[in-house]
Amino acid sequence: INTLQSATTTKNYPGADVTLVLTDPIVAYKYALAITKKHGTMVVVGQPREPIQIAFRDLIFRDITVKGSLLSSIESARRMVKFVAKHGIQTEINTYSLEEVPNKMMEDFHSPHMKGKLVVNVSL
């Protein structure tokens, strides 16, 4: 199932109170906005090269708050680590050798099913 399509076409989908975008592809920001519920917050941590486009409808009619964050305080980082541990949140990490970059990694990067971080391990 395409998660974005499912989230935006299911009338009973409540949405997320807060979405946290840690990656650079613009599609991640569109996805985060789509699944953020009315009166919710989208936190931008990733640093995309292209401008992030946000429709006025999301800001005005859905009352979405958009915040940016570069670093957190020590106390904020502690709360975040506790939250992640408490809720069993895990990251998806896809590792590639240098030889896999031009084909396999780029194919995965452009895939609509890509999730997590893409890491090039030069020691492989």
Task: Please write the tens of the pLDDT for every residue from 81-121.
Answer: 999 999 998 888 999 999 999 899 999 988 888 888 889 98
* Residue 11 pLDDT: 62
What distances in angstroms separate CA 121 from CA 30, 97, 100, 115, one per listed residue?
Answer: 29, 5, 10, 18
Nearest CA among 21, 14, 72 for reference residue 38: 14
Here the tokens at position 84 are 């992640």
Quick one: CATH architecture of 3-89? Answer: 3-Layer(aba) Sandwich (3.40)
Q: Name the residue ranges covered by the structural domains of the chain.
A: 3-89, 91-124
- 10 Å CB burial of residue 86 (0-12, 13-18, 19+) is exposed
Indicate yes or no: pTM above 0.75.
Answer: no
Rounded CA-CA distance 4/24 in Å is 17
